[in-house]
Amino acid sequence: MLARMMLPPVALLVTLAGCASTHDAGDGSDAQTQAQAQTLTFLQVKAAPDSFKAQSVFFGGIVLTARRLKEGTRIEILQLPLDRSLRPGYDLTQSQGRFIALRREFLDPATLPQGTSVTVTGEVTGSITLPLDETDYTYPVIEIKRLQVWARSEDVAPRIRPYMGPGPYWGPYWSPFWQPWPYW
């Protein structure tokens, strides 16, 4: 009986652990990095990226492109505001621009297809100007220390609570499957 009661919490923990993956290149001081990074906003860095060199930041958004270059992997990201869990939102109209995240080590671009939600923690290294359609666009550049890749909601299987039978919280008065008399 105890094993039967422990199965749902264990299954929930396993499911939550599989919802996201992390690519880490840091030294393990994530709490300190996040505390420092909370002070800078994307608009501040976008306005003057060279004045924030070597500052820690964390930004999120969706991947537009990922390309393998000689110096590493360059990821172009459409910035989106982060929620409390540091996951990017879904409303593209809330974007304040684009940025480049650069990973010095090998990162296969196939693992970051277009539309993938990511949160990047890293250091501002300056800016780069690249063509965007018929104009030039100046991107803030972030050297990746940590890359959080979020699972898309449609990739996650729906959660349905199984009928566990009568119990302290799931008894005849709470069960949608069994009523001892007609419910009026």
Span 33-65, pLDDT tens digits: 455 445 789 999 999 999 999 999 999 999 999
In a 3-state reduction of DSSP, which class is residue 62? strand
Close Cβ partners of 181 (under 8 Å, ≥ 6 residues apart): none
Long-range contacts of 170-179 (CB under 8 A, 24+ apart): none
Question: Does a structural domain hold residue 27?
Answer: yes
CATH number at residue 127: 2.40.50.140
User: What mean pLDDT is predicted for residues 20-41?
Assistant: 55
Choose between 181 and 67: higher pLDDT.
67
Question: Does a structural domain hold residue 184?
Answer: no
Please count the structural domains in the chain: 1
The confidence score (pLDDT) of residue 157 equals 54
How crowded is residue 59: how many other Cβ atoms within 10 Å of its Cβ? 27
How crowded is residue 56: how many other Cβ atoms within 10 Å of its Cβ? 21
Close Cβ partners of 22 (under 8 Å, ≥ 6 residues apart): 146, 147, 148, 149
Could you read off the pLDDT of 138-157 as tens digits, one per residue?
999 999 999 999 987 655 55
How crowded is residue 125: how many other Cβ atoms within 10 Å of its Cβ? 18
Close Cβ partners of 169 (under 8 Å, ≥ 6 residues apart): none
The confidence score (pLDDT) of residue 39 equals 75
Could you read off the pLDDT of 83-130 as tens digits, one per residue?
988 999 989 999 999 999 999 988 999 999 999 999 999 999 999 999
Domain containing 88 equals 20-151
Across the chain, mean pLDDT equals: 78
